[in-house]
């Protein structure tokens, strides 16, 4: 099962799962239908504030997230990046899911004075309490990928930041270099499929393609 397939990392996770022969069915959970058809794909329209009973899935991947600009308020941001993630994880766990992979962010810390980092940290801490057999948390730095295919608005500030990060790449610590969304997706899937019981955190530097 995957949620957040309308985002940069989520679309890469979905594409990889559909191509992966070890998965027979991929349930895509979201608030709108994707313009995509595939023999293995099952799309489920949901309201994350009132989730229905979900189908059974062994592995769950959550790449839900928004920005403060899109959310418009801290309350709406938290409803997506914390409440919706937790609700989906709980619903999947109730249906027998044993392995969970989630996209968080570098700097996630429940005690951080920075709102964004604090919410990501609170989300991680909440998921750790759900008793999944295996929980893999990906913490990417700034993402780059094909936003045009997602019909997302251009982000001039992000483009400038990516240009600067690429120009200064040798001087930037690996965990804080810009990272391709596809690298994050592939690392998270590998982590979930290969992970031993317990909690594993994938830092951005470790997910970078060599």
Q: H/E element holding 30?
A: strand 26-30
Label residue 196 by pLDDT band (50, 70, 90). Answer: confident
User: Is the separation of the CB atoms in 192 and 128 below 8 Å?
Assistant: no
pLDDT the model gives residue 60: 98
> 16-49: per-residue pLDDT in tens?
999 999 999 999 999 999 999 999 999 999 999 9
| Residues 156-185, mean pLDDT to the nearest whole number | 71
Coil vs helix vs strand at 143: strand
The CA-based angle 17-71-192, given to 5 degrees, is 25
pLDDT the model gives residue 195: 77
Residue 193 in this model has a pLDDT that exceeds 90: yes
Residue 148 in this model has a pLDDT that exceeds 80: no
pLDDT the model gives residue 208: 87
Torsion-angle region of 181 (φ positive above 0: left; ψ -120 to 50: alpha; else: beta): alpha
User: Is the separation of the CB atoms in 158 and 145 below 8 Å?
Assistant: no
pLDDT the model gives residue 178: 86
User: Is the separation of the CB atoms in 115 and 82 below 8 Å?
Assistant: no
Reported pTM: 0.88
DSSP lists the bridge partners of residue 201 as 137
| Mean confidence (pLDDT) of the chain | 89
> 45-98: per-residue pLDDT in tens?
999 999 999 999 999 999 999 998 999 999 999 999 999 999 999 999 999 999
How many CB atoms are located within 10 Å of the residue 131 CB?
8
Residue 163 in this model has a pLDDT that exceeds 60: no
User: Distance between CA 166 and CA 177 in Å, rounded?
Assistant: 8
User: Distance between CA 85 and CA 66 in Å, rounded?
Assistant: 12
Residue 184 in this model has a pLDDT that exceeds 90: yes
Domain boundary assignment for the chain: 2-207
The CA-based angle 199-205-210, given to 5 degrees, is 115
Label residue 105 by pLDDT band (50, 70, 90). Answer: very high
pLDDT the model gives residue 53: 94
User: Distance between CA 39 and CA 169 in Å, rounded?
Assistant: 41
Which CATH superfamily, name and number, covers 2-207?
NAD(P)-binding Rossmann-like Domain (3.40.50.720)
Cα–Cα distances (Å) from 184 to 74, 91, 131, in that order, read 26, 24, 24
**CA-based torsion, 41, 146, 61, 44: positive or negative:** negative
């Amino acid at each position: 099962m995957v949620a957040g397939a309308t985002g940069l990392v989520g679309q890469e996770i979905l594409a990889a799962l559909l191509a992966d022969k070890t998965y027979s069915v991929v349930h895509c959970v979201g608030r709108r239908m994707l313009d995509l058809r595939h023999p293995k794909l099952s799309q489920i329209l949901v309201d994350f504030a009132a989730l229905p009973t979900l189908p059974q899935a062994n592995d769950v991947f959550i790449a839900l997230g928004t920005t403060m600009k899109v959310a418009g308020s801290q309350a709406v941001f938290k409803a997506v990046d914390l409440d919706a993630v937790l609700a989906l994880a709980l619903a999947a766990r109730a249906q027998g899911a044993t392995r969970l992979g989630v996209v968080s962010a570098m700097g996630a810390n429940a005690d951080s004075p920075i709102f964004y980092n604090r919410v990501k940290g609170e989300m991680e801490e909440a998921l750790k309490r759900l008793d999944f057999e295996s929980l893999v948390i990906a913490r990417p730095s700034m993402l780059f990928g094909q936003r045009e295919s997602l019909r997302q608005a251009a982000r001039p500030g992000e483009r400038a930041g990516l240009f600067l990060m690429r120009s200064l790449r040798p001087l930037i610590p690996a965990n804080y270099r810009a990272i391709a969304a596809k690298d994050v997706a592939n690392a998270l899937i590998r982590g979930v499929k290969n992970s031993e019981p317990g909690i594993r955190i994938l830092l951005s530097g470790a997910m970078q393609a060599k």
